[in-house]
Amino acid sequence: MAREDAVRAVGYLLEELGRRRAMDGEARQEGAAHEGTRIVEEAEQRLFLG
């Protein structure tokens, strides 16, 4: 019984780590998208506002 509890606890831990990694990946993708948008906006300002 104790062994089953330990295996279950490790399973929960792995699930939580997977969720956190997924959230971190999403945050990195959003950050990259925002960075790309910022670069385009700055280029537009330089072109149009001189």
Domain chopping of the chain, boundaries: 1-50
pTM of the model: 0.46
Cα distances (Å, whole numbers) of residue 5 to 8, 21, 36: 5, 24, 47
pLDDT for 14 equals 87
Q: What does the H/E/C string look like for the chain?
A: CHHHHHHHHHHHHHHHHHHHHHHHHHHHHHHHHHHHHHHHHHHHHHHHHC
Q: What is the pLDDT of residues 8-39, one digit of tens each?
A: 888 888 898 888 887 777 767 777 777 778 77
